[in-house]
Amino acid sequence: MAYGQTGSGKTYTMIGSENNPGIAPRAFQRLFQLVEAGHSRHSVLASAYMMELYNDKLIDLFRPPGNTDNEKLDIKKDKKGSVHVQGATVCSVSSAGELTRAFKQGLTNRHTAATKMNVESSRSHLIIVVCLNITSKQTGSVLKGKLTLVDLAGSERVSKSGATADQLREANSINKSLSALGDVVSALSSESSFVPYRYVLTSLHHSDL
């Protein structure tokens, strides 16, 4: 989870460049190296879904071109406490290259805008979830794993950002959700009996935090 002020390098750290890959493509590469190393003992099915949280609304970044119906995205929690997003487009992937290409395609749909503090400021929280179903070839037992990577929108003082009316609304939504995330982390670190998972961002990461 990349967190920090606008312009501090969160998105570059997470995504990187063609010559200097960031955390996400490096993680994808390492993940499939491990899958390949264990292929004699396990069969693995990998899939991913990717979304942004923009103005407190989840938007599917893997949606087919021209499809703007994101009303079906809904946060659900199973009996084991694992969180998933119902209605998200799930892409099956068989290599780091496939996953990286899907990730880059999803990035083209993300909301960005110029502010005084950053010429291309991310105006949404970006989340990609990679799911693994690992089946033992010897026993048939199944294990499930999940890798969640998050590039949070930048926190900034509205007075310094040069925000338009729409960007002011975006900034207020961003700052409110980041504050809620801070409240959850604080409650967890102090082992509070009540953890305020009441906003979309914190509910989405209930099983990750």
Strand partners, 49: 129
Is 173 annotated in some ligand binding site? no
The secondary structure of 136-196 as a DSSP string is ETTT--EEEEEEEEEEPPPB--HHHHT--HHHHHHHHHHHHHHHHHHHHHHHHHTT-S---
Q: Within 10 A of 67 (CB to CB), how many other CB atoms are there?
A: 9
Mention every residue, 6+ apart, whose C-beta is less than 8 A from residue 29. Answer: 21, 96
Is 6 annotated in some ligand binding site? yes
Query: What are the tokens at 35?
Result: 């899958």
| Contact by Cβ (8 Å): 198, 187 | no
Is 5 annotated in some ligand binding site? yes
Is 148 annotated in some ligand binding site? no
Is 9 annotated in some ligand binding site? yes
Is 154 annotated in some ligand binding site? no
Is 4 annotated in some ligand binding site? yes
Is 137 annotated in some ligand binding site? no
Where is the binding site for ATP, in residues? 4-11
Name the binding residues.
4-11
